[in-house]
């Protein structure tokens, strides 16, 4: 379950790396969500979380928020790449089944 005052966002597309996806989300939120402080638009740093145990990436994000994710205005956004069968499911959900070079990332953190 998503924690109160936290966010979990998914970026899916032909990204070269997570920084490119992060910057795209920041741009979208900068334009559309200027009235909400502490969103991904106002975060300057991103920390990549490695999935070494092939766990559901949404579970990883939720667990990090529950346990020990950094809070505060300067806190970074966490990022987990969606891979393997989880990526396949996301691609199907967004109508991208069969498309090549698609990457997906989950970004999570706390509103200020």
Residue 26: what pLDDT? 84
Query: How far does CA 45 lie from the centroid of its chain?
Result: 12
2-6, 24-28, 33-37, 47-51: range with lowest mean pLDDT: 33-37
Residue 73: what pLDDT? 66
| Cβ-contact 79, 50 below 8 angstroms | no
Question: Could you tell me the pTM of the whole model?
Answer: 0.85
> What does the domain layout of the chain look like in residue ranges?
6-110
Query: What percent helix, strand, coil does the chain show, rounded to 5?
Result: 35, 20, 45
More confident site: 6 or 11: 11
């Amino acid at each position: 379950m998503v924690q109160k005052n936290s966010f979990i966002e998914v970026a899916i597309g032909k990204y070269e790396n997570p920084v490119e996806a992060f910057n795209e989300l920041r741009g979208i939120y900068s334009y559309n969500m200027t009235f909400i402080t502490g969103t991904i638009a106002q975060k300057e740093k991103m920390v990549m979380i490695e999935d070494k145990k092939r766990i559901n990436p949404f579970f990883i994000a939720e667990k990090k928020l529950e346990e020990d994710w950094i809070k505060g205005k300067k806190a970074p956004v966490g990022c987990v790449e969606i891979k393997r069968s989880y990526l396949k499911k996301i691609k199907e959900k967004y109508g991208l089944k069969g498309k090549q070079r698609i990457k997906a990332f989950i970004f999570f953190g706390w509103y200020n």
